Chains A and B, each alone.
Chain A
Amino acid sequence: MTIDLNTCTGCNACVVACQSENNIPIVGKDQIMRGREMSWIRLDRYYSSGDPIENRTSLPSDPQTSLMPVACMHCERAPCEQVCPVNATVHDEQGLNVMAYNRCVGTRYCANNCPYKVRRFNFFDYNKRARDQFYLGPLGVNQFKTEGGILKSMQRNPDVTVRMRGVMEKCTYCVQRIEQAKIAQKVKARDSNDIHVPDGVFKVACQAACPSEAIVFGDISNPESAVSKSKANDRDYSLLGYLNTRPRTTYLGRLRNPNPQMPDYKPDALSRMEYKAMQPQSL
């Protein structure tokens, strides 16, 4: 996957699309205030004034916003996988970093060791309990047995597991869509044995929802795929790449082209080219 920060407008459509595709529970304001949002993809915002000195010492009054949608990077050397004592998060044969909910006992070590902090933990039975009854535990109403709860569960995506409390969850790269595409291709291939899923026959949820097509997803082992071409762009970079996690989701850096005639123009580096020009050559 690549995410182009140049075209991302921060509209949050990816966040909503992911939520409905992957049966992500809506935990309510109280739990959000307690830092327990469940979004698999989130939109990080950083505010700056274009003045690096001022950024460090005060909050800018007229900020420029840098946006960054962050979801599980599906690292090739995933720090989460190594620390899980029960093998609940592992690599599959196609390179996805998969989460086996049934194996998870909820030590949360994976979340601690994830430098991107994209893992989400079911602190309560978010699906089984109403939002005002999380703290009641078994004394609360089992939503799966109420009429409204049954209706709500009909809204769920039947291809995606509804998670119980105590397990970790995170972006799966919409593994259900990948598998559907593979199965469809296998059916189509029949005796021809051409089971290679062509590029672009399916989209992951966030990608499908993105109005500016900032998200590209596909097979990086195919050099002709859109995602491979996107990764070949020289704006491509890995978030926290120095940790050598080798994330499979990479970003296309944001370019800006400020007009020196404008009143808010700042000579400081805000674009990659300018930034690079400012770096000492030894780096």
Chain B
Amino acid sequence: MSHSSNPSDAAVGHHGAAAAVLKEVRPANMPRRPIVENNRDFAWITDKVCGIAEGKTPRWWWIAFIMSCMIASFTLFGLIYLVSTGVGVWGLRSPIMWGWAIVNFVFWIGIGHAGTLISAILCLLKQKWRTSINRAAEAMTIFAVACAGIFPLFHVGRVWFAWWLFPIPNHNAIWPNFRSPLEWDVFAVSTYGTVSLLFWYMGMIPDLATMRDRTRMVFEKRYAEAKTKTAQAFERFFFTFRQYFYGILAMGWRGSNRHWSNYEMAYLLLAGLSTPLVLSVHTVVSFDFAVSHLPGWHATIFPPYFVAGAIFSGFGMVLTLMLPLRALFGLQDLITQYHIDCMCKICLATGTMVGYAYAAEFFIAWYGANAFEGFAFVNRAFGQYAWAYWIMITCNVISPQFFWTRWGRENLWFVWILSIFINIGMWFERFVITVTSLANDFLPANWDYYSPTAVDIFTFFGTFGLFSVLFLLFIRFLPLLAFAEIKSVTKQADAHAHGEHH
């Protein structure tokens, strides 16, 4: 605590007990946990973040990259088999016409929610802690949307005609059906993907320019280190590539006052544009279910419930990714315990909202007194898919409750394991919603039990490989943290800092 809170006491003392109104109110300086710890300066931050992409490729990166490529090939082969042979290679059956593909789609789209939430909504809410995690979270968003997009595209029976969902003139000479929630999905997801990509890229321009400007310096160092002619030739080739790569991507950024002013305005505008998108995408995805009239799908609670679930799973995934990266690259001063606390608390809040939604669904199913609806929910919890339901409840409702305690948020292995539980739970949530409602609907004569085939499983598993491939490339070539923004929230950047510097 500084002395800045003292003058008010002094004022009271001076006028004695008679002074009921203070002449001047000076609010106490509320100590906040610093966003950048150990008083790191600008140069350190730049070196640290740029160093991740500029240093020699670590061995673990190559191992991880090759393994991810191999895992991603499962998706590739799964899709080749699917498209060449037919959707029957999946476990779908009447009446469960949507299975893992739609579950995986909603799962990945949900994960892709944290990025834009952090960049847009937290930006508008002036949450400064977002700067350390927004870049990686946005990258995660884009890669997750890419993984998500695979499933609705390839789950259709004739993927070569999937472009008919777009309002492009085709030989059938008809418009798509604008009443269909799947049609809304096409627009919602593609808009979200595009805006997220733009937002991510635009936010990166100042950092890319820094990396461009550092290329020569790094090259000279690396060239001096190269021992053989071949190594030198390689460095020359690689750094020429890097020079152009960052040069083109930086779009001539010079860091002038005008550039910054335009940049900040554009950032604010994009944040404003993306904010409704964060809410709308998963709302529209939930309409795929809510607009149908299947018991267990046809529910007005779906949009808020899906959005809360999406943010929950998104932050779960951010934790899953950022905790290892923080340890690997020694980013503890930039991604501090305070950041982890904030993310854990968001997981706790949204996880509890999701738990409330589960309870509300049951209440409404009972209160609505609709026999089909009532059955759908009792069946969900105690029917043939009860195992999935209780995995969901355990992972989504119970596991985040550990974040109430300081111990639960500060024990990072524990946080990491819980974040994986959150991911598992959110996948099961989508499974429970999609499959249990379809498997036991109106007429008992139609009921059946769905289980996936090996092709289902490998295709889904492979998308984690694809995600990792993209994320590893991102780590290697692009600035992992938004260091220009981080600098703006350091103590040094705060010209009007209260406290010590009076």
Q: Which residues of A contact B (CB under 8 A)?
A: 31, 34-37, 42, 44-46, 68, 70, 79, 82-87, 102-109, 111-113, 115-117, 119-125, 134-138, 164-168, 239-240, 243
Contact = CB atoms under 8 A, between A and B. Distances in A.
A83 to B, nearest CB: 5
B292 A123 contact: no
A120 B95 CA distance: 9
A129 to B, nearest CB: 9
Contact of A103 (B92, B98, B172): B172
A117 B157 contact: no
A48 B444 CA distance: 13
Given A83-B181, A107-B157, A166-B156, 7 more contacts: A86-B165, A109-B288, A111-B94, A113-B294, A165-B158, A167-B157, A240-B443
Given A83-B182, A87-B175, A167-B157, A137 B97 contact: no
Interface in B162-184: 162, 164-165, 172, 174-177, 179-183
A103 B158 CA distance: 10
15 contacts: A42-B445, A44-B443, A82-B177, A83-B292, A85-B182, A86-B177, A106-B157, A107-B155, A109-B180, A116-B442, A135-B88, A137-B81, A137-B84, A165-B158, A166-B158
Contacts, number: 158
B156 A106 contact: yes
Contact of B174 (A37, A68, A87, A120): A87
B86 A115 contact: no
Interface residues of B, number: 47
A102 B157 CA distance: 12
A107 B156 contact: yes
Contacts of A106: 87, 156-158
B158 A70 contact: no
Contact of B291 (A45, A83, A111, A240): A83
A107 B182 contact: yes
A120 B84 CA distance: 20
B94 A121 contact: yes
A112 B294 contact: yes
Contacts of A120: 94
Contact of B292 (A113, A116, A124, A136): A113
A137 B86 CA distance: 7
Interface in B143-161: 155-159, 161
Contacts of B176: 85-87
Contacts of B158: 104-106, 164-167
B446 interface: yes
A240 B87 CA distance: 30
Interface string B436-447: 001001111110
Contacts of B446: 117
A121 B156 contact: no
A34 B445 CA distance: 15
A3 to B, nearest CB: 15
B153 to A, nearest CB: 10
B227 interface: no
B321 interface: no
Interface in B11-58: none
A134 B292 contact: no
B405 interface: no
Nearest to A239: B443
Contacts of A70: 443, 445
Given A82-B180, A105-B158, A125 B86 contact: yes
B26 to A, nearest CB: 61
A242 to B, nearest CB: 9
Residue among B87, B94, B182 facing the most chain A CB atoms (10 A cut-off) = B94
B257 interface: no
A117 B448 CA distance: 12
Nearest to B185: A85
Contacts of A44: 443, 445
A134 B88 contact: yes
A218 to B, nearest CB: 26
Contacts of B165: 85-86, 105
Contact of B85 (A104, A107, A138, A164): A138
B323 interface: no
Contacts of B177: 82, 84-87
A85 B85 contact: no
A167 to B, nearest CB: 6
B93 interface: yes
A102 B86 contact: no
A81 to B, nearest CB: 8
B406 interface: no
Contact of B95 (A68, A84, A103, A111): A111
B443 A116 contact: yes
Contact of B444 (A46, A116, A239): A46
Nearest to A168: B157
B89 interface: yes
A138 B176 CA distance: 30
A240 B293 CA distance: 12
Residue among A46, A111, A166 facing the most chain B CB atoms (10 A cut-off) = A166
Contact of A123 (B84, B92, B175): B92
A70 B164 CA distance: 32
A191 B61 CA distance: 83
Given A85-B182, A115-B442, A166-B86, A103 B174 contact: yes
Interface in B79-133: 81, 84-89, 92-98
A109 B182 contact: yes
Contacts of A83: 179-182, 291-292
Given A85-B186, A86-B176, A36 B88 contact: yes
A266 to B, nearest CB: 21
B379 to A, nearest CB: 14
